[in-house]
Each structure stands twice: as C-alpha cells, then as structure tokens.
Amino acid sequence: MTLAVARRAEATALFAAQGVPTRRVEDWKYSDLKSALGEAGIGAQVAQWHVTDLPAGVEQFDLSQANPPGWVIDNFARGTGNVMSAASLALSVGGVALRVPKGAAIADLLKLDFTGPGHVRALLVLEAGASLTLVEGVGLSEFRNVGFEIALGEGAALDHVRVSPADADAVLVEEAHVRLAAGAQYRAHFASFGSRLSRMELEIALEGAKAQAHLSGVSVLDGKRHSDVTTRMIHAVEDTLSTQLFKHVAGGNAKAVYQGKVTVAKGANGSDSNQSAKALLLGEAAEADLKPELEIFADDVKCAHGAAVGDLDADSLFYLRARGIPEAEARGLLLHAFLEDAVAQIANMDQRELVRTELLTALKVIA
Amino acid sequence: MSSVAQQETKKQVADIGEKYKYGFVTDIEMDMAPRGLSEDTVRFISAKKGEPEWMLEWRLGAFRRWLTMKEPKWARVHYPDIDYQNAYYYAAPKNTPLKQSLDEVDPKLLETYKKLGIPLHEQMALAGVAVDAVFDSVSVATTFKGKLNEAGVIFCPISEAIRDYPELVQKYLGSVVPVTDNFFATLNAAVFSDGTFVYVPKGVRCPMELSTYFRINASETGQFERTIIIADEGSYVSYLEGCTAPKRDENQLHAAVVELVALDNAEIKYSTVQNWYPGDENGLGGIFNFVTKRGDCRGVKSKISWTQVETGAALTWKYPSCILRGEGSVGEFYSIAIANNYQQADTGTKMIHLGANTKSRIISKGISAGKAQNTYRGLVSVYGKAKNARNYTQCDSLLIGGECGAHTVPYIESRNPTARIEHEATTSKIAEDQLFYCLARGIPQDEAVSLIVNGFCREVLQQLPMEFAVEAQKLVGISLEGSVG
C-alpha cells in the first residue's frame, strides 16, 4: 500500500506544519479546538468503529489489516487538505472501509458507530447505481476525531443520518469528504445536541453533471454546549444542484455555529445552490455565529443564501396563548415548528421519527 | 507598480530631487520628501505642516508601531509586494503646472467628462486648467465660508485644524480608528499630509452639503488623507467625498483614514464616489486603495449613514463601519461596487451593535465584469447588552461574462436573544431576455446594459444626494462600457 504510505506522509507533514487549530485560524474562529483540548492535546490513540449487522451485499474491510483490495486503494485518503482530516490520517492506523457494489440497492440500514478516544478513518464507496442508507452513531468520548471519505459513483444515492448526542465534556470532531460522480445524490442530515466542542465539517465535491447534494441539520443546545457545522460545497462542473437547510436552537450559555461556503468553479454554468441557516437564541448568554459564504466564478448560475438570528415570534406566541395554550407549551410548539422543516428532509421515516423524538426531549429541557 | 503615470512621477520627483542638495531635515522649504520612509520622513512631513510637538509625537508613535506590524493578506486581492521604502510619502501639490486651456487635456478624459455631463468650468477645474473669471473658485468659496461661519461649523483642512483647534483634534483624532488599528491605518497616522476636519456644533443643521470639491486647496486628492467629522449633540451634516470625474492621480498607493463621531441625536451622512484610475484593459497600473473608514455612534439615537459608489482603483480594500454604542443609534451602509477588466474589489462593512435598541441596515450591490473579482465582506455583530438590536442585510451580485468572480463573505454573530438579524444574498447575471427586450426596441447594447445595471443598483443610487446621484448613474454605465458582447 505504497500510495497510502505516501498520502500518510503528506498528511503528517501538513499536520506538523499547521498544528491543532486555534481561534486565530479563520475556519476555526468560532471553535477553539486547541483550548477545548487543553493540556491533553489530540493524542495519538486509535478510536474504535463498529458495524451492527452488516447488511447483505455490503463488503467490509478492516483498514488495520494488510493487503487491502483494489477499491480501497483507489479511494483511500484522497483528500488531505483539511488539517484535522490530515491528523486522523497521520495518526490512525485503524478504521473501516465499506463498499456497495454496482447497481446494488441495499434496503437494510447500515449502522456504523464510532466509539472511544483517538483518531479513526472510514471509507464508504457506492459504485455506479448503488443505493444505501447510512446511520452513523456517535459514541461519547473525551476526544475523538473521525476522518470519513465517501465516494459516490455515477447515479449512486446515499442517505446519511448522523446524530451527535449531548455531553458537556466530550470533544467530537469529524471531517467528511464526499465526492459525487455524474447523477449521484447525497442526502445528509446532522442532528446535534452539543458537547464541549462539537464540529462536523463537510467538503462535498459535485464532480459530475447533474450531481446533487442536499444537506440539512438541527441542533438543540443547552448549558455550555457547542455545536459547529462547517460545510464546503464545490460545484466543480455544470448543472449541479445543492441545497442546505440548518436550524439551531441555543439556550443557556450554548453556542451554535454554521459556516457554509459554496464555490461555483469557472465554467460550472447551470449550477443551482441554495443555502439557509437560522438560529433561535433562548438563553441570555447564548450565542449564534453564522457565515454563509459564496464564491462564484461562473455567470450563468442561481445562487442564493439566507441567514437569520432571532427569538420566537411574539405574535405567534400571542396567537397560541390567546387560544388557551399555556406559554411553555406554546413555546414548545413554535420551537418544534421551527426545527421541523429541517427534520422533514430525512428520507427514512424511522430515522426521521427517531431524530424528532430526541429533539422534542431536548426541547422540553431547554424551553 | 510600473504604470506610465508612476514612471512619470518618479521622473518628476527625481528631477526636483536633484536640484536639492542641502539635506532635507533642516530645510523645510523643499516641496517633497526624498524616497523612502523613516522617522526623518515623518519629522519632515510634520515640520512641513508646522505641527506642534504633540502631533509629531503622535505620528512617531504610529510610525514605530507600524514597523512592528505585518501587511494584512486575508482579503481576496492579489497584488505584487509593495516596497514601502521605494515610495514617496510627501509631495506638495503646487508643482503641477496649470494648463492654459482645455486643449492641453487628454481628449479621453474630456470625453468622459462630457458623458458625465460635467459643466465646462468644472471640467477645467478638474483637469487642472487655470480658471478665469467665468468660474471664480475664490468667490464661491467665500460665500460658502461665510454661511458656515454664521452657523458655527468648522470645515477646514486638517492641518489648519491642528493649528487652530488643537483641543478638538486631540480629543477626537484616533478615537475611532486607533493608531494601532491596522497596518494601513497606522501607516496613515504616521504620514498623512492632507484631509478634512469638520465640526458641527450642538443643535446645528449644517446649512449645505459639505464637499471636498469646494474646499480651498483641496483640488488635489492626497495620497494619505485623514478626515475627521464630529457631529455634536442634535446636529446634522452631509459630507460628499470624491467626485464622479476620473481622477488621474499619480500616486499608486493610497491609504486613507476617515473617523466619524456622532454624539447624542446627531446624524452624519457620508457619501463617496470613487473613480480613480483602475489600470488599463490589461490590468496594468491603477491605484491601490486601502481605506479605513469607521463611524462611532457615541450618543443616544445618533445615526451614521455610509453611501459609496466604488468604480475606480485597481484594487479596493475598504470596509466603512459603524460602532453602534449609543442606545437607539442607527447605522447604514449602502454600496455599489463595480469591478471591470482586471479590477479587484474587496469591500463591505462592519456593524457592531453594542447598545440597546440599535439598528443597522446594509444594502450592497456588487457588479463584476471582464476578468474582475468582486467580494462583499461584512460583519454584523450583536453584543450581549444590545437588547432588541436589529439588522437587515441584503447583498446582491451581478455577473457580466463568465470570466469574472463574485463573492460574498458575511459574518453574523449574535449574543443577545432579543436581537434579530436577517441576511439575504443573491447572485445573478444580466438576463438575456432583458437585454434582448432593450435591443429589440432600438436601445444600443451599452445603453441597455447601463439601464439594467442602474435598475439593479437603484436602491443605493437613491441614497445619494441629488447632485451626485445623476452623475453616479451615468458613471455606472460608463464603467461597464464594452463589457457585454
């Protein structure tokens, strides 16, 4: 696996040059990883992964083993531009690679969990025409860094649902790098309940015509919890489509962060991109930081973004109370309504219901 | 840094420099400081301006600080490294010989004046032609000064203010843009040689629009301008900077600082039209414009409104901002930034909401054509005590042709649950059907583009004072000539 060795060496050099990000690094302005980690630093442990009931038709390979198959070599460690992704590649020898062969439509959910402290890598390849629903579980740990790569072949379709649980002490970082060939579809939902520092970073490259990505997410944060979703959507070729819808509710001293950058490359005409990020602040000391960014090098495009921060609409609250609904309940209803359109993006009904239930539980505490 | 204009300046300066053989520190009769930047240059400028000791100390402090600073590189602008030791920092404007008639003026320049509809006598003044009785600038200025004196408004070059109103200058200079603020502002603090000082006393509504154009001795735009405008309690002032006519300034590096202070219930309206030399069609030459503009709404219910039309300069680095400190204060930013050929513009605003019930509004229209790059970079930040703060931001980009870029980088930070912030942005191109519609009705292509783009920026153009608005509209069209087809 000489190519992988070379890529690992590159990643090691990159991480050595940049180090653990601090607030002074523009991309990490709102998430100070270095101070969240404190003395302990990022360590060099290898975190664990676990697949529950591997669905029939999905191939699995343990990255800590020798002699990887060709599809792993072809797709492993392709993107190392991101500093934390480079760290996971440099420091982890473990991880998992999964493949759905050409044309296979997998009906069962693929449940992949990451647990324990340290760094871990994952690779998921959907070959042309394949389809799958991935449910990613996030186990609590003082610090974990996951470097995830996803490659979607022509016309492949992946539904990805990730739920990051609440924990005041955990520092959870993940970078997903998703590549889409022509006609491929990536639909992802990220629900986050916040931890000491929680960062989900996505780089999505729409590399084939008619490729499309639809991202949505909700976060409900309380106490001193933090949640950061950072996305980078690259429309590399023409006629690509992307949508993003993120909703945050922050109470207490919590901090909700959304940074989204949409790039339309030169010549990527017919690109269509929509980005929306909204936050409701419920706590006197809560904070929301939104940065929806556009970078456009082609003229025949449709790009729009919107962002808003505020509190619950007083008129709506009054309307509900005038109809005899107690204030707490009315607030709960409005908060649920605020989050619901992002939750409704989850295609799998069972997963949608699961996320919704967790949201409602979290809202009860915060509202 | 190799424009023809630059070469000419160097030659001119070198010629004069050779005549001078006495060491410049002791002799302040000389009209220019030698090449390079040192404490001696700063002392020279200060001596030349006849400044008091405290002012010199302030400049030297800035200079020493500047030596420790690094040039910021985060903006989306690319330019060759600037050799700060290879530039001239002070040259008195009187060296420019007056032309005897308009015939001596570059015909290209005259053509543009005509398109803008600038009256003949103004054309002469702008192009540096000796003015005759038709346009007596002195008498205009005298009537104008009389009116201001009556109202008690101070409106003078900053060097005069340092001499005549030292206590006011000491109180406000550097109070909005501190000496240590940023690389270019610190450089300005060390070497500024020109600028405007305005003080509007309590309760006075300034009887006219103030404009640098009418200020005596201000026909030459300084390379390092420093402007301070103070609106005392309950006063109002509207200030116009620049003009729509193209400015063939020969200094390539510009670093201006503008400080605005609005006290209780005061309002300042600051309008800029910037049309400096943008470089030629191949991106050669042109002005590098690094500007720090900031307004401090210190008083309750004070208001500061920035309006800018940026069409010139090869490179623009400019973020007019408002610090909304006073309760109920209001900040506004209306901007049109046009970048054509190889121009690069990185411009936007910062609205810092510190006080309760503060409001801000941002309307930004960016137009890119040719191979230009146009970036809106903005920050809306609501601090914990800014109860009920409100912001509305709209930034729209228009692309003309597939070779240019339009970028939007908004930062939105809220730390107060009662604050409400809204941000919208769109990117589009000139619609073929709109263009076709105009062409089909016999409107020539350039005029059609001008019409459509003017429609796109209408909300901002409306904010300009009347006399500016008409010319600015034409300027929008002229800046984009030949960009379609």
Residues with Cβ within 8 Å of A174's Cβ and at least 6 positions away in sequence, in order, are A138, A145, A146, A147, A148, A199, A200, A201
CB A352 within 8 A of CB A343: yes
Question: In which element (H, E) is residue B300 found?
Answer: none
Q: Are A303 and B399 inside 8 Å of each other by CB?
A: no
Query: What tokens appear for A138 in the block?
Result: 């996030």
User: In terms of pLDDT, which residue wins out, A116 or B126?
Assistant: A116
Rounded to the nearest angstrom, the minimum Cα separation between B435 and chain A is 15
- CA A123/CA A70 separation, integer angstroms: 13
Confirm whether B248 is domain-assigned: yes
Residues with Cβ within 8 Å of B372's Cβ and at least 6 positions away in sequence, in order, are B339, B340, B341, B342, B343, B344, B345, B404, B405
Confirm whether B467 is domain-assigned: no
Other residues' Cβ atoms within 10 Å of the Cβ of residue B31: 15
Which burial class, exposed, middle or buried, applies to A147 when counting CB atoms under 10 A from its CB (0-12, 13-18, 19+)?
buried
**Angle at B346 (CA atoms; ends B344, B352), nearest 5 degrees:** 170
Of B337, B255, B250, B259, nearest to B289 (Cα)? B255
Confirm whether B191 is domain-assigned: yes
Rounded to the nearest angstrom, the minimum Cα separation between A260 and chain B is 10
Tell whether A292 is within 8 A of chain B (Cβ): yes
Q: Which residue in chain A has the smallest CA separation from B372?
A: A297
Identify the pLDDT of residue A254.
96
Distance of CA B145 to the CA centre of its chain: 24
Q: Which of B147-151, B290-294, B391-395 has the lowest mean pLDDT?
A: B147-151
Model confidence at A263: pLDDT above 50: yes
The whole domain housing B234 covers 135-435
Closest Cβ opposite residue B427 in set A269, A303, A306: A303
CB B156 within 8 A of CB B217: no
Q: Which residue in chain B has the smallest CA separation from A286?
A: B415
Q: Which residue in chain A has the smallest CA separation from B396?
A: A304
Q: Considering only CB atoms, which chain B residues are within 8 Å of A282?
A: 417
Identify the pLDDT of residue B215.
41
CB B290 within 8 A of CB B254: yes
Of A226, A259, A201, A171, nearest to A82 (Cα)? A201
Query: What tokens appear for B354 in the block?
Result: 């510190």
Mean pLDDT of chain B: 82
Identify the pLDDT of residue B220.
43
Tell whether B431 is within 8 A of chain A (Cβ): no
Q: What are phi and psi of B42, to 5 degrees?
A: -65, -45
- Per DSSP (E only), the strands in A182-282 are 185-192, 195-206, 212-221, 226-235, 241-250, 255-264, 272-281
Segment B74-115, tens digit of pLDDT? 999 998 888 888 777 876 544 445 566 666 666 766 676 666
Q: Are A290 and B428 inside 8 Å of each other by CB?
A: no
Q: Considering only CB atoms, which chain A residues are within 8 Å of B414?
A: 279, 281, 287-289, 309
Model confidence at A169: pLDDT above 80: yes
Confirm whether B387 is domain-assigned: yes
- CA B367/CA B338 separation, integer angstroms: 5
Model confidence at B134: pLDDT above 60: no
Rounded to the nearest angstrom, the minimum Cα separation between A331 and chain B is 14
Question: In which element (H, E) is residue B19 found?
Answer: helix B4-19
Domain total for chain B? 1
Q: Are B404 and A299 inside 8 Å of each other by CB?
A: yes
Of B196, B217, B189, B216, nearest to B154 (Cα)? B196
Identify the pLDDT of residue B265.
98
Q: Considering only CB atoms, which chain A residues are within 8 Å of B404?
A: 297, 299
Question: Would you place residue B20 in the very low, low, confident or very high pLDDT band (cuts 50, 70, 90)?
Answer: very low
Query: What tokens appear for A2 in the block?
Result: 């000489």
Closest Cβ opposite residue B412 in set A290, A296, A302: A290
Q: Are A295 and B416 inside 8 Å of each other by CB?
A: no
Q: Considering only CB atoms, which chain A residues are within 8 Å of B411?
A: 289, 291
Residues with Cβ within 8 Å of B244's Cβ and at least 6 positions away in sequence, in order, are B116, B118, B273, B275, B468, B471, B472, B474, B475
Rounded to the nearest angstrom, the minimum Cα separation between B327 and chain A is 19
Closest Cβ opposite residue B427 in set A279, A284, A296: A296
Tell whether B416 is within 8 A of chain A (Cβ): yes
Strand-pair category, A255-264 with A287-296: parallel
Confirm whether B112 is domain-assigned: no
Q: Considering only CB atoms, which chain B residues are within 8 Å of A278?
A: none
Identify the pLDDT of residue B436.
92
Q: What are phi and psi of B426, to 5 degrees?
A: -135, 155
Model confidence at A69: pLDDT above 50: yes
Closest Cβ opposite residue A287 in set B405, B414, B424: B414
Q: Are B405 and A297 inside 8 Å of each other by CB?
A: yes
pTM, full prediction: 0.88
User: In terms of pLDDT, which residue wins out, B1 or B172?
Assistant: B172
The predicted model gives A328-347 an average pLDDT of 95
- CA A357/CA A343 separation, integer angstroms: 11
CB B414 within 8 A of CB A279: yes
Q: Give the residue from B395, B412, B416, B426 with the most A CB atoms within 10 Å of its CB, the best one to mutate.
A: B412
Q: Considering only CB atoms, which chain B residues are within 8 Å of A299?
A: 399-402, 404, 429
Closest Cβ opposite residue A310 in set B402, B413, B421: B421
- CA B42/CA B38 separation, integer angstroms: 7
Query: What tokens appear for B310 in the block?
Result: 């940026």
Q: Considering only CB atoms, which chain B residues are within 8 Å of A309?
A: 382, 412, 414, 419-421
Question: In which element (H, E) is residue B469 found?
Answer: helix B466-479
- Report ipTM (2 d.p.): 0.91
Q: Which of A169-183, A239-253, A295-309 has the lowest mean pLDDT?
A: A295-309
Orientation of helix B466-479 relative to helix B445-456, angle to 10°: 130
Size (chain B), residues: 485
The predicted model gives A92-118 an average pLDDT of 95
Segment A1-20, tens digit of pLDDT? 567 788 888 899 999 999 99
Identify the pLDDT of residue A111.
97
Residues with Cβ within 8 Å of B184's Cβ and at least 6 positions away in sequence, in order, are B72, B255, B290, B291, B292, B317
Confirm whether B235 is domain-assigned: yes
Identify the pLDDT of residue A117.
95
Confirm whether B34 is domain-assigned: no
Model confidence at B127: pLDDT above 60: no
CB B178 within 8 A of CB B296: no
Question: Would you place residue B58 in the very low, low, confident or very high pLDDT band (cuts 50, 70, 90)?
Answer: very high
- Cα A52 to Cα A161, B63, B408: the distances in Å are 15, 66, 43
Of A210, A211, A264, nearest to A234 (Cα)? A264
- CA B193/CA B31 separation, integer angstroms: 12
CB A202 within 8 A of CB A174: no
Q: Which of residues 355-394 of B touch A (CB under 8 A)?
A: 382, 384
Query: What tokens appear for B151 in the block?
Result: 């109202």
Confirm whether B344 is domain-assigned: yes
Tell whether B263 is within 8 A of chain A (Cβ): no
User: In terms of pLDDT, which residue wins out, B135 or B155?
Assistant: B155
Q: Which residue in chain B has the smallest CA separation from A30?
A: B413
Identify the pLDDT of residue B115.
67
Q: Which residue in chain A has the smallest CA separation from B415?
A: A287
- Cα A336 to Cα A241, A249, A279, A358, A360: the distances in Å are 28, 10, 13, 11, 7
Q: Which of A162-171, A230-239, B29-38, B146-155 has the lowest mean pLDDT?
A: B29-38
